[in-house]
Amino acid sequence: MASAKRRRLRQLGQWGVGLYLYNTFNRFYDVVLYTAVIAKWGTLKGGVMMMALSLVVDWVTLRLYDRFKRDVFGIEGLKRVRDSDATTWIGKVLRWALRQNDLVTFVVLTLMTNQFVVTAWLRHGADEFNGLQRRDWVIFLSSVVLGNLYWIAVVSGAIQLFKTLIL
Which string of b and e fits 67-85 if b means at least 16 CB within 10 Å? eeeebbbebbebbeebeee
Number of folded domains that form the chain: 1
Residues spanned by the domain of 99: 2-166
- The one-letter code for the residue type at 98 is L
Q: Please report, in tens digits, the pLDDT of each residue of the chain (167 residues total).
A: 578 778 877 777 777 777 778 888 889 999 999 999 999 999 999 999 999 999 999 999 999 888 888 888 888 877 877 787 878 887 777 677 677 788 888 888 888 888 998 999 898 876 778 889 999 999 999 999 999 999 999 999 999 999 999 87
Tell me the C-alpha distance between 19 and 113, whole Å: 12
Tell me the C-alpha distance between 2 and 20, whole Å: 27
Tell me the C-alpha distance between 78 and 71, whole Å: 10
pLDDT reported for residue 73:
81
**Half-sphere exposure (Cβ direction) of 80: Cα atoms closer than 13 Å:** 7
Region label for 69, one of left (φ > 0), alpha (ψ between -120 and 50) or beta (otherwise): left
pLDDT reported for residue 20:
78
In contact, 143 and 151? CB cutoff 8 Å: no
In contact, 96 and 41? CB cutoff 8 Å: no
CA 29 to chain centre: 13
DSSP assignment string, 39-97: HHH-HHHHHHHHHHHHHHHHHHHHHHHHHHT--SSSHHHHHHHHHS---SHHHHHHHHH
- The one-letter code for the residue type at 162 is F
